[in-house]
Amino acid sequence: MQPHELTLAAAATEIRERRLSPVELVDSVLERIDRVEPHVEAYVTVTAEQARGTAREAEHEIARGGRRGPLHGIPAGLKDLIDVAGIPTTASSRVRADHRATADSTVTARLRAAGAVLVGKTHTHEFAYGLTTPQTGNAWDGGRVAGGSSGGSAVAVATGAATFALGTDTGGSIRVPAALNGVVGLKPTYGLVPRHGVTSLSWSLDHVGPITRTVEDAALVLATLAGHDPRDPASLDTPAVDYRPERDPDLTGVRVGVPSNYYFDHVDPEVAAAVHRAIAQLEALGTRLTEIDIPMPRYIQATQWGLMVPEATAFHARTLRTVPELYQTDVRILLEAGELMGAGDYLRAQRARTLMRGAWARVLDEVDVIVAPTVPMTAVRAGQETVTWPDGTVESVSDAYVRLSSPANITGVPALSVPVGHDTAGMPIGMQLLGQPFSERTLLQVGHAYERTQPARALAPVA
């Protein structure tokens, strides 16, 4: 096994036991980037020399007994909305062609303090305003979409071109590409991870979180990222938590809610079957299954768009007027549409969110975890714009991919996507776990327990 094939937890153990050096690990990941990048285009920028220098520093520090923790010497990719001092933050847009960050974002600073090694900035759908990341190919089939908007981060992890990565999630942008590329994606509770120094799409919906090979890896990264920062007005001051799941979690009596509506409507049969098999596995591990009704389903799409569209347009107001030609057509149209939405529409969306949060809280009082598909279908072919369901309903690909993930953004609850197999075309399928605010440890325990029953997942065979 090559070092780039190791999970974060395994690499951390090898480094701690002095069987692997950070330099060896970083060199292996950089070589992997060189090999797979022509096929997938996950990275905007690769910081190879800087990464090698940081790895040498980590090696010397660890040799002197100064290991900082499990992320020390571990290679990471950061979505190119996240500021890294001295490196461009392009948001994968010509609008940001000349932008260079002058300071680290909070999450970058915390990763540096933990000893992580930045190997590059990963592609996003322009300004995170989309669900496909068109410049990046799926890790399992380059002719299919990577998912978005954190597509570059998910593909980098799935191919071994990063040991872990960070993404952002406004309507599913961590979980969607994680599901479509067969990796783990965690959207934390709103306010748990600070967003200072991260380019916004929609202030009231944005989250930052990890994309990793395993659930345990996600827990290790979350422990570094979480914590209050007053520079983010939404950041919450919460007690420190040990998120790392138990080696052999006991799920006896854990209440698992299985939706009777919404989450299995207009879902590909292979996706539904894989998720139901995973639910049966959770029941075999001792959980108690309970059928639940998802509240206010008819308002979910309108509320998501009613919040996101005007907030995004407000953020881009200046450049939309001065350099509209620099935006990609799909993003420019969405931003211009936001100018047509009135204050009343936005306020009604805010009111609907308040009602939805209350209704979801009542459901989550009855169960510990809600289990559902992450996305209704696996990765579609690049350029496919719609999907037609068996009843004749036609849905845009973007609407389909955001449909099952957006409730967690509207309500702010944590959500974890875990791989649960592949369809007959070989494309990954994801299962989503949702819970009460700040119940990340429970989600991680359940996800880890399921993961332990499955064979170890290999990297995508991209090259």
User: What's the pLDDT at 443?
Assistant: 98
Q: What is the pLDDT of residue 463?
A: 64
pLDDT band at 444 (very low <50, low <70, confident <90, very high): very high
Which of the residues 79, 105, 121, 202 is marked catalytic?
A: 79
Catalytic residue among 173, 202, 398, 405: 173
Q: pTM for this structure?
A: 0.97
Instruction: Note if 149 is an active site residue.
Output: yes
* pLDDT, tens digit, 9 for 90 and up, residues 275-307: 999 999 999 999 999 999 999 999 999 999 999
Backbone φ and ψ of 132, nearest 5°: -125, -25
415 and 409 Cβ atoms separated by less than 8 Å: no
**Catalytic status, residue 405:** no
Instruction: Using alpha carbons, select from 449, 424, 423, 448 the residue that is nearest to residue 182.
Output: 423
Tokens for 218, please give them.
């996600």
Percent of the chain with pLDDT over 70: 100
Mean pLDDT of all residues in 252-281: 98
Indicate the angle between helix axes 215-225 and 8-16, nearest 10 degrees: 70
Closest CA to 137 of 38, 58, 29, 271: 38
Q: What is the per-residue pLDDT across 341-396, written as a single tens digit (0 to 9) for each? A: 999 999 999 999 999 999 999 999 999 999 999 999 999 999 999 999 999 999 99
In this structure, are residues 37 and 142 in contact, taking their beta carbons and an 8 Å threshold?
no
Single-letter amino acid, residue 80: D
Mean pLDDT of the chain: 97
Of 105, 149, 153, 398, the active-site residue reads 149
Structure tokens at 107: 């999450």
Given a cut of 90, whether residue 161 has pLDDT beyond it is yes
Interhelix angle for 8-16 vs 22-40, to 10°? 160
Q: Is the pLDDT of residue 221 over 70?
A: yes
What confidence score (pLDDT) does residue 12 get?
Answer: 98
Instruction: Using the Cα atoms of residue 95, residue 172, residue 214 and residue 422 in order, give the sign of their dihedral.
Output: negative
How far is the C-alpha of 61 from the C-alpha of 55, rounded, in Å?
10
Annotate the chain with three-state secondary structure: CCHHHCCHHHHHHHHHCCCCCHHHHHHHHHHHHHHHHHHHCCEEEECHHHHHHHHHHHHHHHHCCCCCCCCCCCEEEEECCECCCCCCCCCCCHHHCCCCCCCCCHHHHHHHHCCCEEEEEECCCHHHCCCCCCCCECCCCCCEECCCCCHHHHHHHHCCCCCEEEEEECCCCCHHHHHHHCCEEEECCCCCCCCCCECCCCCCCCEEEEEECCHHHHHHHHHHHCCCCCCCCCCCCCCCCCCCCCCCCCCCCCEEEEECCCCCCCCCHHHHHHHHHHHHHHHHCCCEEEEECCCCHHHHHHHHHHHHHHHHHHHCHHHHHHCHHHCCHHHHHHHHHHCCCCHHHHHHHHHHHHHHHHHHHHHHCCCCEEEEECCCCCCCECCCCEEECCCCCEEEHHHHHHHCCHHHHHHCCCEEEEEEEECCCCCEEEEEEECCCCCHHHHHHHHHHHHHCCCCCCCCCCC
Residue 98 confidence (pLDDT) above 90: no
Q: How far from the centroid of its chain's Cα atoms is residue 351's Cα?
A: 27
Taking residues 29-37, report their average pLDDT.
98
pLDDT digits (tens, 9 = 90+) for 309-328: 999 999 999 999 999 999 99
pLDDT at residue 462 is higher than 90: no
- Tell whether the model's pLDDT for residue 228 goes beyond 70: yes
Decide the pairing of beta strands 184-187 and 164-169.
unpaired
∠ CA 392-425-174, rounded to 5°: 80
